[in-house]
Structures are given as C-alpha cells and as structure tokens.
Amino acid sequence: MVELRAQEQHLLSVLSKQECSVSVEQLVQFCGFPDAAVMRNALSLQEKNFLTIQAATQNIIKLTAEGKSYAQTSLPERKLVVAVAELGGKADLSQAAKKAGLEASFIQIAQGWVIRKKWALYDSKTNTLTLNDALLHQMVVPEGCDETLLKYLGEKDQAVFDDLNGDLKEATEQLKKRKLAVVEPKTTRILKITPEGIQAVSEATLAVPEVTKLTPELIITGKWREAKLQKYNIEAPVAKTWGGKKHPYLSFLDEVRAKLVQLGFQEMTGTAVEASFFNFDALYVPQDHPARDPSDIYYIKDPKYANLDNQTQTVEQIAQTHENGNQTGSTGWGYKYNLEAARRLILRGHGTCLSARTLQSGRYQVPSRHFSIARVYRPEITDRTHLSEFNQVEGIIIDENLTLKDLLGVLGKFALEIAGADKIRFKPDYFPFTEPSVELSAYKEGYGWIEFGGSGIFRPEVTLPLNVKAPVIAWGLGVDRLYMMRNEISDIRMIFNQDLDWLRKKQVN
Amino acid sequence: MPTIDVNYAELQHMLNLKLDNNLEKLDDILAYIKAEVKGFDPKENSLSIEMKDTARADLWSVEGLTRALQSYTGQQKGPKPYTTTDKSDIEVTVDASLFDIRPYIACAVIKNIHLSDEVIKGIMHLQDKLDHTYGRSRRRTSIGIYNLDLIKSPIKYTAVKPETVEFVPLGFAQKMKLDEILEKHPKGQEYGHIVKAHSLYPMLYDSQGQVLSFPPIINSNDLGKITEDSCNLLIEVTGTLHKTVLNTLTLITSALIDRGGKAYSVTIHYPKDTNNNYTQKSPVTPDFSSKPLELSVAETNRLLGLNLSAETIINLLGTAGLGVEKVSDQYITVLVPCYRVDVMHQVDIIEDVAIAYGYNNIEPLWRELPTTGKAKADQRYIDIARDLMIGLGYQEVLNTTLTNTQTLFQKMNQPPSRLIELSNPKVITMTCLRNQLLPGLIEFLSSNQSVEFPQKIFELGRVTLPNEAEQTQTCDKNYLSAVTTHPNANFSEIKSTLDSFMTNFGVEWQIQETTHPSFIEGRVGKIIVANQEVGIIGEINPETLEAWKLENPVAGFELHFQTLIDAKQNNPHK
C-alpha cells in the first residue's frame, strides 16, 4: 500500500493532470506551495520512483521597461488609430497624435506601425491618416498577436518561449525587435510523472500529516494524534555536550577522606603559611637542618615572623630539648636555640605540622585518631616526578598501648582499605621525628610494588615537650603515586594540568 | 638525602659477598641501614646509594657502609674498635678571639697510609659529604687534611684581620689576601658567607708561621695538598659545636684507619678564660671511646610490642653492631661505638633491636579503638557547593595556590593588593600565594582556546590573606569562583547561575552596582549577603580578555564562600 504525505499526494495529483512536463516554477503556481516545499516533495517522490526530475534549458521571455509601460496602457500605434477613429476615420496626423496624447518622438513610430499593420493609410500631401476600409465598419480595431503577448507578459511577468503557439512565437520576435521584450535561456527542473506515479495517485491513501517537531501546541490541542512525528536518522553525529563533574584528583582525595573517616580518623586543618616552630622545631628538626635551607623550604617575604606569644611555655620546653634534651632522656642537639628562627614564617613543607599543632593544643582524647589532607610546598623545579606544590595525607594515632605492631598495622590497614593491596612488605625508614620508623610497600596485581606509606612513633623529644605522655603514631601516605597509578598517569604535573579537554573526557573511576 | 658513590667490586670485596648483578639482593641488605640503590653505572662499575637516614653520617663512605652491613651479614658482631697508636708530637693552641666565630677544633695524625688514587677519591668523597650534610655546608663543621711532614708543631688556631694575611690557596699559584680569596676562589664564593659576618677570620698556622688553612674556606696550596706520595697526614676539624667537631674527626679518622693508616692523638689547648666558655681545657683528640647508654628491657618490649628477654636483646644488639657493657635484670648498658654519632636516646637503640629482629617478623596489629571519624567542619558545605556547581553544568578545575602578581593583578587589569609573597621563589610563575581564584580560572581558559565552547568551569579552593590577628599572620579562606565563556556569554547567564546556586545553598543575596577594573563598567556588581560584601560578579573587561588572548566574552563571579560557611555554622538551622 502506497502511503503518501499530504503534500506529496497533492503534488503528484497536480502533475498527473498535466499533459506534458512541468517545471518547478509552474508547479509552484499550480500547487500553491513555496519553491522549497515543491523541491523537497519532488525529491522524495523521485526517490519513490513516482516522477522524474530533469534539468532543461528554456527560453524565457520577459518585458523590458518600455514593454512593461505599454503593457499597462497600450502600444502607441493603437493609441493613434483609436484617435483617428474617434476623429471620424480621417484626421490630420498631428491633430490625431495630439488627441492620442503621443509625445513628438513617438509620432513617427506610431505612424509607421499603423501603416504596417494596415490599420490606416497615410497621405503625405495632406498629412492625413485615413482608416482602412475594412476597419471603418468595425467598432474596435482587432487586437494583434503582439498585443496579446504584451498583455500576457504584463500579467504573468514571463513566458516560456516553447510553450507559445506559432503566432505568439512570431509576436515574440516582433517585440524583441522593438526592444519591448528580451529572451533569455534559463535552466529549470522539469518534472514528469512516471506510470508508477500515475498508479500511485489513484491508489495512495493519504498519510497522516507528518511533523518534524513536537510542539507544545500539538500536545495541548491534541493535534499530535493526527500528526505523525517524522523519523530521525538516529545514527547521524551530534554535537558533544560537556556537563560538569568533579576534578578527578579532588574526587580521589574525597574518597581517601571518606575511608579515613570510616576508619575513625578526624580531620585536622591549618594554614598554608606556618611558623618554622611547628613545621620543624616541634618535630625535633634542628634549626640548622638542611631541610630548612632556602633551597628546601619556601620562606615568606612579608610578614616574616609568627606570633608565638601565647606559646612561650611550649617554645621554652622545645628550646631546652633541642639544646640538651631536657627531661626527655635525650642528649639533645647541643646547639644554641634561636627564637627568631623558630618564629620565621614559611610555607608548610609537610602536613606533620598539623599533627604537632593538635598535640600542642591539648585538645585531643586518648585514644584518638587524626588525619589531614594538606597542601604542602617545596621549592622544586617541577618535572615528571616533582611538584613544588602537592597534597599530603597524614596523621596521628594517640593511645596508651601503641607499639611497633600498631605502626605496621595502621599502614597495613591503609594499604588494604585505600590501595586494595594484595601484598605488603615493611622496611626500616627514617624521619627525624619518629623512632622506630617504617616504610610500607604495597603490591597490587597489575600495578606492581609501590611505596605506599611511612609511619613511625614520635620520638620522646617530640611528645614530652608537648606534654603528651601516651605513645603517638605518626603516619603518611603516598597518595599521589596511588592516584597516578590508578589513573594511568605517569607525569605528576597532570594533577594540576589545565587541559579542559582531558578533564571533560576523563573517565570517572 | 645523602647519596654516596661506591665501587661495586670494592663493596662486594669488602663485604665478602658475591652479588653478581643482583641489585635487588643488595637492596634487601641495604634495607637494614635504610639505604637503597639509586643507580648503577656498569661502565664505571659504580653504584649510587641513597641514605634515607640523614643522621647516620657513619654510613657515608664505603668503609662505613661495609662496617654497618658486616654485622647484619654476620661477618662481624658488635662494634668495630678503633684506637690511637700513641700520642703524636702535634699540639694545637686555640686563641680566645675565636670564641664567637668558630671556637672548636679537633685534630688527629695519620701515619703510614698508602694513598692510592681510589683511596684519595673515597676520602675526598667522604669529606665532601661530611662537610655538606653533617657539617651543614661547613657552617657547623669543616674538615682539613694536610701533609704532616711539612708542618711544625705547635699549631696555632687563631683569628686574624682579613687584610693582614695572604697565602696561596689550594689550586692557585699566587698569594691572595683573605678577602680576595672570598671574592675569587670558587670555595671562597661558595662558603664566604660563613665568615663574612665577623670582623676577624679564622686561620691555622704552624709554628713557623706557615698557613695551613683559612677554615672553613680553603687549605693552603703548600701544606694542604694531598697526593699519592703523602703517607703522613694531619686531620683537622673546626666548627661551632664541640660534640659535632669531635664526631666529624672520629668519622674521617676511622675511615683512614680502615684504609690502613695508624692514628696518633693531638692535644688541644683551649684558652684560659674567665667566663669558663670552654668546658674542656685540654682535650686529646680523636676520642674513639664508646658511649654507655642505659637500655630498659621493659621499655624496649613496650615500644616494640614484643616480649624479648635481655639475652635476646643483647644478641640483637650485636647484630645491629652495638656492644654491651653490663647487664642487670631490667637494664642493659649498651656501648654505642664512637662512629654512631646519630644516637641521642634509647629509642634509637630500640629501633636497631627491631631492625635486627626483622620488621617482617613482627605481626601487624590494627587495634580496635573507640574513636569517631569526622571530616573537617567545612567539608559538608564544600561538598554541597561543588555538587551544586556541577549540577549547573560547571566543570571543576584544580589550580595551584602558588601563582604570580602578573597573573593576579597586571593581566587582570587591576591594581595590586597586599598578599603573601615568597622570599625565595624558585620560578617566576610561582612567587606568591593566591588571594583570589578568578585569575586562575581566566588563566585556565587561556590555555584552552582550541577546546570546544561553551566552556564553563569553577574552582572551590583556598586563598591566603594577610591577617595580623592570627598566629601565622595569615588566614586561609575557602573561595568559590566560576566563569562561563562562549560567543553569547553574558552577565545574565552568570547572574542566573549564581542565583540558582544561592537559592539552593539557602542564602538570600542582593546585587549592588559597582565598578571594578577587571570587569566591564555597568556590567559588574558586588554580591551582598546580610549587608556584607561577599564577592563580585560581572562580565570580564575586553582589555583583560585581550591580555589573556581570549576571543570569546567571559562572565564570572568570585564568592567569599567561607563567609557563607561560617554563617551556616553559626546558625545551622538557617
């Protein structure tokens, strides 16, 4: 069963009634569709084999400006002959021309054509025009073919030369000669119905009107019931839509935070600018330690010094410990402690200063577990493996009964919970503020071994001056390596990369 | 971390181990002393070994390394003894004027040493490591080695006016004044700052007035040049801490003894001063005696979570290269060898016991403790805000907090405001901490001009602001900034985004006309919450766009999000 859309049906039926080929322009007139609609439907009908479309060159006749003005009134010779008739069939040329309203320059032309068309005779001696005998008895001077064409073109604007009958074709030549019309070749599309098309017109049922867009109007009025929603080419490519999503690295840190909270750790925070005292001294890093060289830690230009006024007692305790060990059972470093060096402001080089602050504040419980995700800073030249700014995840556990076993246990737990490690192994490690110290390497199928974290028990030189009596485990995790591994990144600079395309396409995992 | 270079063949020979090319096996052994192989050059057969323990200066030579490893491989239990053969006839007198400059000196004499090219290289390497790391780049201690045969005792350690002395420094042919040395000699340029603060500079002369050296800068070219022909040496260490000076001398001298030299002691005569500045008047150096340290058995077991007997501990101490003087029920008197300069507390010994026991032989324990986990107070609001911005179609980005004033001010067409700058920036793009987020986002856009539009990004992150009321003179605040850019980006779009955000976050806000040089006049407003200005919103000025080479209009806002969080926390029901 052939199903045609309304416009197709109409076009095809119009076409079936034509005896010969029809141009698109003609169909525009016959169907009353706009040009584009005719073409669209014609193409779709051609696809169905109901018509053929052929390009053909046609000669198009159009009036010139002069021709158009005569089409609106009449030819000058007609004006003249009418005037002669009104003057009784015989009249003086100039008198007749005056009556006809002809300009002087047209008199000559009008006179010539009146004679050529055998409408009147001219006597040059008397300068008179006399109507042809045949016309004398008629009420009207019959219209010539040229005038018929002129009128037609005046109304229709143009005509196809081949469509005209023999007389009119001759008239075309006349008008052309008189420069009242021009003939121009023009390529047009010619539609011709096929036998299948003729059959289709008789058989076709009218399809429900098809619509491209489901509009609110269609929905509200219920007209959608009569409509058919046009099928789309669903395989056609579409423009990409980029919504928002979390930054993969921050999202990873969110996950680490959630795990740590779940394991009973509470988060510590602090400022990026820190007193050397908390970053170093409180952690028993001597004031002449290379880690405090300007090549290893950023110093603040202005302001230069922290205000440690409400910490004087702690500062004194720590100064004593550095100088001679004080009450800690240690020999101390044996140098002269300098308060100005302690107050010097820096950008924190590790997150351990937050642990020192927590212990110093005394606002913790025994037992308790703490962690921080801290942005830390080192004056490094950035490359594939170094950043001058990165994040450290670390913290402390405070409990009366902590031992080296717990030190191994906490790292083992993290390796399992956070890295999903298959195997772990421990190695002795060194931090200036812990003893004993451990490094944990984690093995994960497909990733291999990575150095995953370190931990240690704070030295008595750290805890005792801060008035902490219970053992404190300090731990830190190499989260950047884990992130890079999980996201198959080999360049650490990717953490802060400014590549929007990468972020948009980055798979969420 | 110190890295030392050792000859692989020599190391294997000294360790009496055949390792072939199994560097992993070597790594397993090195793990005992917290060291690992960093590199191997097969052409030179040279190993580069990194020492994690920055305090164990005794490991920074092939001699020290093998000494430490030999006890773990079972070749030698307990400490390695060092002694001086006899007193030398060298004495040193110290001038009181040095007290505030570089007060301490320790010396030793080494005789009958055969200095091959390899040995000289090794000793220089150790000297360099000790000067640099243990000596804190010669500030704390520095080492000088001289040809003993050219020196006449007593040696005078004194302080001089720089312009009064000249000598030929090592590696040069002409005499130079001290200031000239600081200016022209490479070592003078490197270490000159250590002495420049003083009006007098330290000098070492022999009794003939010959210059030994200008510590801690440079030796004399005449007396302080060591060649393969030198077989009798004078070793000298000067510095600011007596203990460190003695330790450094022990470390360098013991390495020379390991190389076949015989050590002789030197007597130092400190000045008789009324202030009792010098506790020891006439010490004899070097001092190779072990230091006794009380180790509590109970404390050892408590820290390790083990139940080791005193006997087992003593055995483990031996494996760790430590000696034992006497034992009671509860205490072991450990003899810490002279070269173990890192030991400050019994915990250092307890760790050695644990390492000898083997970390991997200890069962890890995750203790169930009644603690409650909690994210930081701000985190809940931060997460809500990030989710809202993502819902509004904005991609989260992450910028560094280190930036530069060009980015923050000049390119944003705004005047500089006070912010936290670094005194020692490493690169010109990172000279200060950001005090706003918006410039970072604009910078981000400028790196993405070839990426599909529209582009909508946001960052919720910390900025640092000066604040004298705080201990660190600064405070960190969470800010939220977002920008949208595409051919039709405009004020209405960003205002609509902010309005949605505020409505969902539960904050009533107003906008108030203002002017801001980063934004187009008439298209910028202050964000007002509870009569307080909490940010700015608008269309970015084309001048700024041009500075960043942006071709599409940009609209954005910067919100002092911390103020909103703080208000929520003070009144959580609102």
Place of tokens 């001679």: A324
Q: Which of A308, A430, A431, A434 should be substituted to probe chain B, the one whose Cβ sees the most B Cβ atoms within 10 Å?
A: A430
CA angle B497, B501, B507 (to 5 degrees): 135
Place of tokens 């669209």: A40
Domain ranges of chain A: 65-178, 249-505
Kindly report, residue by residue over B41-87, the tens digit of the pLDDT.
Answer: 988 888 999 999 989 999 998 889 999 999 898 888 889 999 999 99
Write out the E strands in A174-251: 181-193, 205-206, 210-211, 228-229
Inform me whether the C-beta atom of residue B477 falls under 8 Å from chain A C-beta atoms. Answer: no
Torsion of CA B528, B529, B532, B536, to 10 degrees: -40
- Residue B461 sits in a domain of what CATH number? 3.30.930.10
Identity of the residue numbered B280: Q
**Entry pTM:** 0.79
Say if residue B22 is in the same domain as residue B153.
Answer: no
Contact across the interface for A430 and B34, Cβ inside 8 Å: yes
Section A121-128 average pLDDT: 83
Section A372-377 average pLDDT: 96
Compute the distance between CA of residue B15 and CA of residue B3 in angstroms, rounded to an integer: 19
B144: which strand partners? B236
Residue B250 CB partners (closer than 8 Å, separation 6+)? B82, B286, B287, B288, B338, B339, B341
Measured between beta carbons, the chain A residues lying within 8 angstroms of B376 are 267-269
**DSSP codes of every residue in A106-168:** HHHHHHHHHHHTTSEEEETTTTEEEE-HHHHT-SSPPPPHHHHHHHHHHHHSEEEGGGS-HHH
Q: How far is A509 from chain B (nearest CA, A)?
A: 16
Residue B25, domain member (yes or no): yes
Contact across the interface for A381 and B371, Cβ inside 8 Å: no
**In terms of CA atoms, which chain A residue is nearest residue B456?**
A244
Say if residue B231 is in the same domain as residue B302.
Answer: no
Task: Please name the member of B52, B140, B390 whose beta carbon is closest to the beta carbon of A246.
Answer: B390
Reported as half-sphere exposure (CB side, CA atoms, 13 A), residue A316 has a value of: 5
pLDDT at residue B574 above 70?
no
Q: Which residue has the higher pLDDT, B1 or A253?
A: A253
Contact across the interface for A328 and B371, Cβ inside 8 Å: no
Say if residue B389 is in the same domain as residue B483.
Answer: yes
Kindly report, residue by residue over A379-392, the tens digit of the pLDDT.
Answer: 988 898 899 999 99
Say if residue B399 is in the same domain as residue B527.
Answer: yes
Task: Please name the member of B392, B427, B473 whose beta carbon is closest to the beta carbon of A345.
Answer: B473
Write out the E strands in A161-255: 181-193, 205-206, 210-211, 228-229
Task: Please name the member of A247, A299, A406 whose beta carbon is closest to the beta carbon of B424.
Answer: A299
Identity of the residue numbered A388: S
CA angle B281, B284, B290 (to 5 degrees): 115
Q: Which of A403, A458, A495 should be substituted to probe chain B, the one whose Cβ sees the most B Cβ atoms within 10 Å?
A: A403
Compute the distance between CA of residue B528 and CA of residue B509 in angstroms, rounded to an integer: 6
> Looking at A212-221, A272-281, B387-396, which range is the least confident one?
A212-221
- Exposed e or buried b per residue across B559-574, where buried means at least 16 C-beta atoms within 10 angstroms of its C-beta: bbbbbbbbbbeeeeee
Q: How far is B57 from chain A (nearest CA, A)?
A: 13
The confidence score (pLDDT) of residue A204 equals 66
Overall size of chain A counted in residues: 509
Say if residue B239 is in the same domain as residue B167.
Answer: yes
- CA nearest neighbour of B245 among B216, B219, B214: B216
Percent of residues, chain A, with pLDDT higher than 90: 43
- Residue B330 sits in a domain of what CATH number? 3.30.56.10
Section A78-88 average pLDDT: 82
Q: How far is B410 from chain A (nearest CA, A)?
A: 20
Please state at what angle helix A65-72 crosses helix A145-156, rounded to 10 degrees: 100
Q: Which of B253, B285, B317 is the last residue of a domain?
A: B285
The confidence score (pLDDT) of residue A137 equals 67
Of A20-29, B59-68, B344-353, the range with the highest mean pLDDT is B344-353
Identity of the residue numbered B4: I
- Exposed e or buried b per residue across B230-265, where buried means at least 16 C-beta atoms within 10 angstroms of its C-beta: bebbbbbbbbbbbebbbbbbbbbbbbbbbbebbbbb
pLDDT at residue B279 above 80?
no
Contact across the interface for A459 and B347, Cβ inside 8 Å: yes
Name the burial class of residue B394, with classes exposed (0-12), middle (13-18) and buried (19+) by CB atoms within 10 angstroms of its CB: buried
Kindly report, residue by residue over B237-274, the tens digit of the pLDDT.
Answer: 999 999 999 999 999 999 999 989 999 999 999 988 76
**In terms of CA atoms, which chain A residue is nearest residue B56?**
A430
Predicted interface score ipTM higher than 0.90: yes
Kindly report, residue by residue over B139-148, the tens digit of the pLDDT.
Answer: 999 999 999 9
Q: Which of B190, B334, B367, B456 should be substituted to probe chain A, the one whose Cβ sees the most A Cβ atoms within 10 Å?
A: B367
pLDDT at residue A269 above 60?
yes
Say if residue B269 is in the same domain as residue B131.
Answer: yes
The confidence score (pLDDT) of residue A59 equals 85
Contact across the interface for A290 and B133, Cβ inside 8 Å: yes
Residue B367, domain member (yes or no): no
Residue B573 binned pLDDT confidence (cut-offs 50, 70, 90): low
Residue B317, domain member (yes or no): yes
- CA nearest neighbour of B74 among B339, B372, B438, B321: B321
Contact across the interface for A375 and B475, Cβ inside 8 Å: no
Residue B547, domain member (yes or no): yes
Residue B437, domain member (yes or no): yes
Tell me the longest C-alpha to C-alpha distance in chain B: 92
Contact across the interface for B464 and A272, Cβ inside 8 Å: yes
- Reading the block at residue B507, the tokens are 């904050």
The confidence score (pLDDT) of residue B297 equals 96
Contact across the interface for B345 and A328, Cβ inside 8 Å: yes
Measured between beta carbons, the chain A residues lying within 8 angstroms of B379 are 257, 267
Measured between beta carbons, the chain B residues lying within 8 angstroms of A332 are 344
Mean pLDDT of chain A: 88
CA distances from B307 to A207, B300, B334 (A): 93, 9, 19
**In terms of CA atoms, which chain B residue is nearest residue A327?**
B345
Does residue A13 contact residue A198 with C-beta atoms inside 8 Å? no
Kindly report, residue by residue over B423-440, the tens digit of the pLDDT.
Answer: 999 999 999 999 999 999
* DSSP designation for A492: G
Compute the distance between CA of residue A52 and CA of residue B220 in angstroms, rounded to an integer: 108
Residue B368, domain member (yes or no): no
Three-state DSSP class for A451? strand
Measured between beta carbons, the chain B residues lying within 8 angstroms of A264 are 369, 371-373
Task: Please name the member of A269, A461, A501 whose beta carbon is closest to the beta carbon of B345.
Answer: A461
Classify domain A249-505 at the CATH class level: alpha beta
Residue B81, domain member (yes or no): no
Compute the distance between CA of residue B551 and CA of residue B549 in angstroms, rounded to an integer: 6
Contact across the interface for B401 and A272, Cβ inside 8 Å: yes
The confidence score (pLDDT) of residue A316 equals 96
A191: which strand partners? A22, A53
Total structural domains within chain B: 4
Q: How far is B38 from chain A (nearest CA, A)?
A: 15
Task: Please name the member of A290, A331, A367 whose beta carbon is closest to the beta carbon of B371.
Answer: A367
Say if residue B281 is in the same domain as residue B298.
Answer: no
Domain that holds residue B402: 379-570
The confidence score (pLDDT) of residue B274 equals 66
Task: Please name the member of B347, B364, B430 whose beta carbon is closest to the beta carbon of A409.
Answer: B364
pLDDT at residue B158 above 70?
yes
Residue A328 binned pLDDT confidence (cut-offs 50, 70, 90): very high
Percent of residues, chain B, with pLDDT higher than 90: 82
The confidence score (pLDDT) of residue A48 equals 84
Measured between beta carbons, the chain A residues lying within 8 angstroms of B440 are none
CA distances from A471 to A455, B343, B372 (A): 13, 20, 19
Q: Which of B72, B99, B122 is the last residue of a domain?
A: B72
> With DSSP H G I counted as helix, E B as strand and the rest as coil, what are the percentages for chain A, rounded to 5?
45, 25, 35
Q: Which of B268, B285, B302 is the last residue of a domain?
A: B285
Contact across the interface for B364 and A412, Cβ inside 8 Å: yes
Say if residue B459 is in the same domain as residue B326.
Answer: no
Name the burial class of residue A123, with classes exposed (0-12), middle (13-18) and buried (19+) by CB atoms within 10 angstroms of its CB: exposed
CA distances from A329 to A48, A316, B529 (A): 100, 17, 56
Residue A428 CB partners (closer than 8 Å, separation 6+)? A436, A437, A438, A439, B31, B32, B33, B34, B351, B354, B355, B359
Say if residue B461 is in the same domain as residue B341.
Answer: no
Q: What H or E segment, with its residue span, contains residue B405?
A: helix B405-408
Q: Which residue has the higher pLDDT, A165 or B368?
A: B368
Kindly report, residue by residue over B304-321, the tens digit of the pLDDT.
Answer: 999 999 999 999 999 999
pLDDT at residue B20 above 80?
no
Inform me whether the C-beta atom of residue B307 falls under 8 Å from chain A C-beta atoms. Answer: no
Reported as half-sphere exposure (CB side, CA atoms, 13 A), residue B206 has a value of: 21
Say if residue B66 is in the same domain as residue B201.
Answer: no
Inform me whether the C-beta atom of residue B495 falls under 8 Å from chain A C-beta atoms. Answer: no
Residue B323, domain member (yes or no): yes
Chain-centre distance of CA A236, in angstroms? 17
- CA nearest neighbour of B440 among B465, B403, B494: B403
Q: How far is A467 from chain B (nearest CA, A)?
A: 18
Say if residue B296 is in the same domain as residue B268.
Answer: no
Does residue B422 contact residue A300 with C-beta atoms inside 8 Å? yes
Residue A109 binned pLDDT confidence (cut-offs 50, 70, 90): confident
Percent of residues, chain A, with pLDDT higher than 70: 97
CATH of domain A65-178: 1.10.10.10
